Amino acid sequence: MRLALLVLAVNLLLPSAALAQIYAWRDAKGTLVLSDRELDTPTKIYEVHGAPAYRTTTAEATAGSAPRFDSFVLAHAQRHSLRPELVRAVIQVESGYNPLATSPKGAMGLMQLMPATARSLGVRNPYDPEENIRGGTAYLRRLLDKYDGNEELALAAYNAGSGAVDRYGQVPPYRETRDYVRRVGVKAGASDSGTAAKFRIYKTIEIIDARAVPRYSTQRPAAGTFEIVRR
């Protein structure tokens, strides 16, 4: 039954491909909007049966995978002294909360662990959500310790490898890596160390008459999820 529900949720939320991106926005009132595409224009949204705090852009969608894995996120984030927001953001950007995701390069599961990395972390089944999150959080902790708590460098190493970060002494000048660091940083929010960059234009989603409407402002939103679209 658990496997059947998992497959159903993945098929509903990721209808086109296993590696499809799931976008998540939280409005100022705390309502979470899940979508399989960027919200750049007013978009009709739907209530999720049995989950009043959620909305989706797909009428048939059920509650998202994120809440089902949050107990693992919280437990292992606490174990490794990580911000849960950072772990959630990595999962969101890496796999869109698809536990069965496999990248063309062979990265596996929620936190997209490479085979060698999974083995070094003692992860026997990278497609098991709890095992994957356990290994991924341990790996994040290892990278943060290596780079003295600098989240940007740790994320760059998570994406491009420590060798690339060490070679350049900063976030490598790879478009994919810089975009990855930005996207994870935006979703995770600022850390206590203040390593997150400061941007000028903020994109938020506002729910108006059953539609998700993108809003842009130069003021940092006081509540809800936002995306930084221009420095």
Please spell the DSSP secondary structure of 163-202, one letter per residue: HHHHHHTSS-S-HHHHHHHHHHHHHH---TT--SPP-SEE
- The reported pLDDT for the residue numbered 35 is 75
| Domain identity same for 44 and 91 | no
The pLDDT of residue 15: 40
| Domain encompassing residue 132 | 66-188
19 and 91 fall within a common domain:
no
Do residue 95 and residue 182 come from a single domain?
yes
Give the pLDDT band of residue 147 (cuts 50, 70, 90). Answer: very high
Same-domain pairing of 73 and 172? yes
Report if residue 44 sits inside a domain: yes
Higher-scoring residue by pLDDT: 14, 213: 213
pLDDT higher than 80, residue 228: no
Could you tell me if 176 and 97 lie in one domain?
A: yes
Q: The pTM is what?
A: 0.59
User: Are 39 and 207 in contact, with CB atoms under 8 Å apart?
Assistant: no
Instruction: Examine residue 198 and state whether it is found in any structural domain, yes or no.
Output: no
Q: How many domains does the chain have?
A: 2
Any catalytic annotation for residue 94? yes
Residues 76 and 89 placed together within one structural domain of the fold:
yes
- Tell me whether residue 146 is exposed, middle or buried, using C-beta atoms within 10 angstroms of its C-beta: 0 to 12, 13 to 18, 19 or more: middle
Same domain, 22 and 105: no
Could you tell me what percent of the chain has a pLDDT over 70? 75
Let me know: does 119 contact 132? Beta carbons within 8 Å: no
Q: 28: closest CA among 209, 215, 183, 189?
A: 215
Q: How confident is the model at residue 192 (pLDDT cuts 50, 70, 90)?
A: low
Q: Is the pLDDT score of 50 beyond 90?
A: no
Q: 38, 47, 60, 94: which is the annotated catalytic residue? A: 94
The CA distance from 38 to 131, in Å, is 30
